[in-house]
Amino acid sequence: MKRRKAVPLLTELFQEDTSNILEIMKAAKHEALNMERYLSWQELQYRKAPEGLTTAQWWLGIKLHRAQARQNIPLHSAKGQAFSYAPTQCIQQYLHLIDRKGGNMVLTDANEIFCDRERDKYLLTSLEEEAIMSSMMEGAVVTRSEAQQIIRDNRLPRNEHERMVMNNYLTMKMILENKDKALTPAFILSLHRSMVEGTLKTPEKAGALRSTEDKVCIEDVRTGDIIHIPPAADELPMRLEALCNFANGEDESEYYIHPVIRAIILHFQLAYDHPFVDGNGRTARALFYWCMLKSGYWLFEFISISRDIFNHPRYYYEAFLNTEEDENDLNYFIINQLKTILNSINDLMEHVRQKKDAKNAFQHILECGLPTLNSRQRQVLLYFIHHPDTYTSVTAHCRTYDVVRQTARTDLNKLEKLGLLYSENISREFIYRPKPNLKNLIQKIATELTDIG
């Protein structure tokens, strides 16, 4: 990350020539109301100012426009200044798209795909995805296929990286189980304990606020510059209580806060306060999910925001910095996360569409060519068609389809007898892998059985 220049304060900007303030405001209006972007001072410096204005005058005009709609929230910076945001047209547009796409458009397709055990199976997959990507953001070194098998086989993690993934998965399940309850400091501590247990150098810090002896600051890994100093440790109990009041709507201001905005602010504030020695980012994202599900956004059981953040980390961290540097303006982080949410919803919609198309096409082959297979066996084959490098086991089959071990063993052994899977014994557990060119094998067997019939 490039070394950042200090953002000039309004008091400093008014030291510029403001005799033509009306012209400044008029020239800055277009950028201030831009529906596509919300420029920071770091970005503005490299753009050409409107004719007749300096960059500082242009920034002053933008800031004055933004200030007109600014609303303080009951959460504060380490210096005691209120955080604030403005419900700009850009933000309102994103919220509308999230509400629309997260509602009827996806609901129709989701009901066709996510039914009964199929819904449970995809829920498992989505929890795995969020657990894996959130852990990888914090340094876990593990492949997606390895992490999935850790969770599906429910085996003990062999190292810290695997433990991070399993902890994250169990914490996401904990969120689902407590989505209808009010947020309390005790629950946040229990989330953190679940998230980091067995991964800290100081085990007693799991589920405990950092103390004054814990020197915590955020540094730029490239330059070594300190870019964020969180609030003092002795303030954390009070700040955690204020965070819960805000989350539960107990400290409502005079204006309405959209549930998605509230969830995003929870995410930001816990990461900003950095109340733990480690695991703050993972816990902050878990709080976001709790708030979304608490507010009725059931679709977020199936969405991973960490994947999009992992793919665009610079924008994520710059959004934090821009908010802190520019007088606690939360719009930077809010807009960044609204885009992330929309990208994640679009990914889900595309996945549902592809899954529906592929399922319909191949289901026809399985039903017509291999009518003796049950729905679980068909789902196993469909999964392996799209994930040929993975494997399953009796334990994983039991967990995925909620059947007893004998039923799972019968399901998988039949597929092996048909020549579609092969098994091997690893650590006293038989695992089943797809034969190479599985799709062609299925089509060949289906054709042969049809010809015999």
- Residue 106 is predicted with a pLDDT of 44
Element (H, E) at 366: helix 331-369
**Beta-carbon count within 10 A of 135 CB:** 27
- Residue 118 is predicted with a pLDDT of 54
- Residue 294 is predicted with a pLDDT of 92
The CATH T-level fold of domain 87-340 is Fic-like fold (1.10.3290)
- Residue 121 is predicted with a pLDDT of 59
Question: At 227, phi and psi to the nearest 5?
Answer: -110, -10
**50, 236 in Cβ contact below 8 A?**
no
- Residue 9 is predicted with a pLDDT of 82
Paired sense of beta strands 421-426 and 429-434, if any: antiparallel
This prediction has a pTM of 0.77
Question: At 228, phi and psi to the nearest 5?
Answer: -160, 130
Q: What angle do CA 216, 218, 222 make, to 5 degrees?
A: 140
Largest CA distance in the chain: 92
Sign for the CA dihedral angle at 299, 380, 394, 389 comes to: negative
Distance in Å from the first CA to the final CA of the chain: 66
- Residue 153 is predicted with a pLDDT of 76
- Residue 243 is predicted with a pLDDT of 96
Task: Kindly tell me the number of DSSP H helices and DSSP E strands found in the chain.
Answer: 20, 7
Tens digits of pLDDT across the chain (453 residues): 556 778 888 888 888 777 888 888 898 888 888 888 899 999 998 899 998 888 999 999 999 999 888 999 999 999 999 999 999 888 999 999 998 876 544 444 444 445 444 555 556 666 777 777 777 777 767 766 777 777 777 777 777 888 888 888 888 889 989 999 999 999 999 999 999 998 888 889 999 999 998 888 776 656 667 777 889 999 999 999 999 999 998 766 567 899 999 999 999 999 999 999 988 988 999 999 999 999 988 888 888 888 888 888 889 989 999 999 999 999 999 999 999 999 988 888 887 777 677 666 666 667 666 778 898 998 898 888 878 888 999 999 999 999 999 999 999 999 999 899 999 988 788 899 999 988 888 888 777 765 554
Could you tell me the residue ranges of all domains in the chain?
10-68, 87-340, 370-452
CATH number of 370-452: 1.10.10.10
